C-alpha cells in the first residue's frame, strides 16, 4: 500500500468519525456540520487523487468525486462562516455611527 493510499484510509476513517459524532451528538451546531462536511470533502478529494494516480476508475467517475469534494468543502465553509458571523454579531449593525461628514460620532 502506497503512502498516498494510507492517506485515503486515514481520511476515510476521520470522515467516518466525524459523521458518527455528528449523528450521536444532541447539541450540534453549524460548526459541527460544517466541519463534518469539510472532513468528508477532504476524503473525497484524496480518493480522487489516489484513484487518478493508480487508475482505479474512469475519468468520469474521477470528475464526479472531485466535484462532490468541491461542493462539500464549499458547503462546509459557508456553514462555518455563517456561524462565525452570527456569533460575532457582524451583520452590519455594528457599524460605527457617522456624522454627515463621515467622521465617527463620539460615544
pLDDT digits 0-9 by tens, 25-82: 888 888 888 999 999 999 999 988 888 887 788 888 889 999 999 999 999 999 988 8
Q: Is residue 107 part of a domain?
A: no
Q: Which residues contact 7 (CB under 8 A, 6 or more apart)?
A: 46, 50
pLDDT digits (tens, 9 = 90+) for 66-75: 999 999 999 9
The three three-digit cell numbers of residue 17, written as one number: 468519525
Q: Is residue 101 part of a domain?
A: no
Q: Is residue 99 part of a domain?
A: no
Q: Is residue 97 part of a domain?
A: no
Q: Is residue 58 part of a domain?
A: yes
The three three-digit cell numbers of residue 107, written as one number: 460615544
Q: Is residue 95 part of a domain?
A: no
Q: Is residue 84 part of a domain?
A: yes
| Structural domain harbouring 15 | 3-88
Q: Is residue 55 part of a domain?
A: yes
How far apart (Å, rounded) are the C-alpha atoms in residues 53 and 85? 39
pLDDT band per the 50, 70, 90 thresholds, residue 100: low
Q: Which residues contact 5 (CB under 8 A, 6 or more apart)?
A: 50, 54
Regarding pTM above 0.75, the answer is no
Number of domains in the chain: 1
In this structure, are residues 64 and 19 in contact, taking their beta carbons and an 8 Å threshold?
no
How far apart (Å, rounded) are the C-alpha atoms in residues 86 and 83? 5
Amino acid at each position: 500500500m502506497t503512502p498516498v493510499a494510507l492517506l485515503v484510509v486515514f481520511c476515510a476513517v476521520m470522515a467516518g468519525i466525524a459523521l458518527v459524532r455528528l449523528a450521536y451528538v444532541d447539541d450540534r451546531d453549524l460548526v459541527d456540520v460544517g466541519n463534518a462536511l469539510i472532513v468528508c470533502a477532504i476524503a473525497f478529494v484524496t480518493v480522487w487523487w489516489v484513484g487518478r494516480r493508480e487508475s482505479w476508475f474512469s475519468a468520469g467517475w474521477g470528475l464526479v468525486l472531485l466535484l462532490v469534494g468541491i461542493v462539500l468543502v464549499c458547503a462546509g465553509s459557508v456553514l462555518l462562516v455563517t456561524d462565525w458571523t452570527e456569533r460575532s454579531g457582524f451583520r452590519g449593525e455594528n457599524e460605527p455611527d457617522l456624522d454627515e461628514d463621515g467622521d465617527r460620532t463620539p460615544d
